[in-house]
Amino acid sequence: MQFVATPITGAVEIRPTPNQDSRGFFARSYCAREFAENGLSLPDKQMAISHNLTRATLRGMHYIPETQGEAKLVRCIHGHVFDVIVDMRPNSPSFMMWYGIELSAENLLSLYIPRGVAHGFITLSDNADLFYQFDAFHKPGVETGLRWDDPDIAICWPIAPQTISERDLALPFLRDMDVK
């Protein structure tokens, strides 16, 4: 696996090395030892699947404040998504910066998202599934978020969303938040 830094401090793109043969390929997708060697918190407490029925479904932007947060490793295991992170850590050099990456079952890429960084995605195919690994147990009611279309972040989404939850539509704009 290759660990490639992103513009968001501590967020890392992981590129597996497929072992190809006439049957297809075998690729290691996670290794606690290699993650520890690269200074990443081990996302081994909980795992989850996000199944999204239609193209242009947007989830996010969600995060937990860094002091109570969770680091996560996300990958697309079916279909194709545009995955986005936003640094919500006031003391981070990349505070308020966003970064987007295409994740797909084909490109095998995963994105390590450190604590205090917001996450969201828009699906680029029907039946797009994301697989999550978390370094902390889910704590109901702790998670917050910001609007996907926050003008102060100005995420360049590749397509317009068609499906967004009421909860996500009700998320605040950064200017109305007390980020500390």
Ligand X SMILES: Cc1cn([C@H]2C[C@H](O)[C@@H](COP(=O)(O)OP(=O)(O)O[C@H]3O[C@H](C)C(=O)[C@H](O)[C@H]3O)O2)c(=O)[nH]c1=O
Q: Which residues bind ligand X (CB under 6 A)?
A: 48, 50, 59-60, 62, 119-120, 132, 138, 143, 165
Phi/psi of residue 168, nearest 5 degrees: -70, -35
- Pairing outcome for strands 144-145 and 58-63: antiparallel
> Which residue in 30, 51, 62, 80 is the catalytic one?
62
63 given a catalytic annotation: no
**Smaller CB distance to ligand X: residue 50 or 125?**
50
Provide the β-strand partners of residue 63: 144
> Shortest distance, CB of residue 174 to ligand X, whole angstroms?
17
> Shortest distance, CB of residue 172 to ligand X, whole angstroms?
15
**Smaller CB distance to ligand X: residue 19 or 54?**
54
CA distance 73 to 85: 12
Residues counted in the chain = 180
- Sheet strands (E) in the chain: 2-5, 12-15, 19-21, 24-26, 46-52, 58-63, 72-78, 80-87, 98-104, 110-113, 117-123, 128-134, 144-145
> Which residue in 30, 78, 132, 138 is the catalytic one?
132
132 given a catalytic annotation: yes
> Shortest distance, CB of residue 27 to ligand X, whole angstroms?
23
> Shortest distance, CB of residue 19 to ligand X, whole angstroms?
30
DSSP state for residue 57 in the 8-state scheme? B
**Smaller CB distance to ligand X: residue 143 or 149?**
143
Contact present, 43 and 134 (Cβ < 8 Å): yes
**Smaller CB distance to ligand X: residue 28 or 138?**
138
What positions carry a catalytic annotation?
Answer: 62, 132
